[in-house]
Amino acid sequence: MTLAPSPVGLHEALELLATRDLVVLTGAGCSTDSGIPDYRGPGRPPRAPMTYQEFVSGPAAQRRYWARSHLGWGRMRGAEPNAGHRALATLDPELLITQNVDGLHERAGSRRLVALHGRIAEVVCLACRDVTTRASLHERLAVLNPGFEQRHAEVETRPDGDVDLDDTDDFVLAACVRCGGVLKPHVVFFGENVPADRVERCYAAVDALADSGGALLVAGSSLTVMSGLRFVRRAAKAGTPVVIVNRGATRGDDLATHRLHAGTSEFLVQLAAVRA
């Protein structure tokens, strides 16, 4: 049986990462300081995001998704990059792999980046595959559903641009303007696969760390889903140091060489200062 490493101090983690090539994997914990709730942080109630199979099951599920997401997007689009996002842009790792769909890393200035699960700011038609902006769809939905946002202004915000709302039966959907097909946010739902080219780019960056003596830093992810955990497993198998910074337990804790229970923004700001 492999035992999880003992939690390390801040100085030890910073010292390990001070001069090495880095690949950074981020999760929802990086965006909580921007006001976007996470799925699995300490004290968070269990959440069951809509699966792809449920979404494509018919208009009822699609109304439920888009009604909630319409309200959530109206709030989420106002979120701004926080100090952790800005620190990562300054660090400019060999590759930034993010499980987040909020686009805040890009807005903070990160460019060597793979958005594993896509971006909530884009919408794709399931029929013709035309990609359009979420902002334009939001305007169309506002016209089709006058007063909807005002009637539900008090509902609780949930992760990834969702809200806690059951009253969705009268929500009017918008179809693709090109072909009339069903619109879906251009993100990877539970039950979908991350596109292979994204995965391969990330594997290549993680593999290169073994040759350069680099390290993999996980910041703000519980690693509950395989889309992120696979890179931790890959690095650990190659003998690459893995540093996990997260307030709650993670599925990769037994693979980490260094485990720090801390907020991601504070840690990333200090790491950027050490590497400046």
Domain boundaries of the chain, sorted by first residue:
1-36+81-117+194-276, 44-78+118-187
Q: Assign 231 to helix, strand or coil.
A: helix
Q: 142-161 burial, b for 16+ CB within 10 Å, e for fewer?
A: eeebeebeeebeebeebbbb
| Residues 57 and 51: beta-carbon distance below 8 Å | no
Residues with Cβ within 8 Å of residue 197, at least 6 apart in sequence: none
- Tell whether 179 is in a known binding site: yes
Element (H, E) at 25: strand 22-26
User: Could you list the active site residues?
Assistant: 117
pLDDT of residue 5: 41
pLDDT of residue 167: 78
Candidates 1.10.150, 1.20.120, 3.40.50, 3.30.1600; correct CATH number of 44-78+118-187? 3.30.1600
Tell which residue, 198, 194, 217, 192, has the closest CA to residue 113. Answer: 198
Candidates 3.40.50.1220, 1.10.10.10, 3.40.50.300, 3.20.20.70; correct CATH number of 1-36+81-117+194-276? 3.40.50.1220
Distance from C-alpha of 132 to C-alpha of 129, rounded to nearest angstrom = 10
> Could you tell me the two tokens for 147?
């007063």
Query: Residues, the chain, total?
Result: 276
Residues with Cβ within 8 Å of residue 206, at least 6 apart in sequence: 23, 216, 231, 234, 235, 238, 240
Distance from C-alpha of 229 to C-alpha of 186, rounded to nearest angstrom = 22
pTM value > 0.85: yes
- Tell whether 202 is in a known binding site: no
pLDDT of residue 74: 73
Q: How far is CA 170 from CA 62, 66, 67, 123, 138, in A?
A: 12, 12, 9, 22, 17
Low-confidence spans in the chain with pLDDT less than 70: 1-8, 38-48, 157-163
251 CB burial (10 A radius; 0-12, 13-18, 19+): middle
- Tell whether 176 is in a known binding site: yes
Distance from C-alpha of 266 to C-alpha of 25, rounded to nearest angstrom = 16
Tell which residue, 97, 127, 120, 118, has the closest CA to residue 195. Answer: 118
Tell which residue, 7, 8, 223, has the closest CA to residue 97. Answer: 223
- If you search the block for the tokens 């889309």, which residue do you land on? 227
- Tell whether 125 is in a known binding site: yes
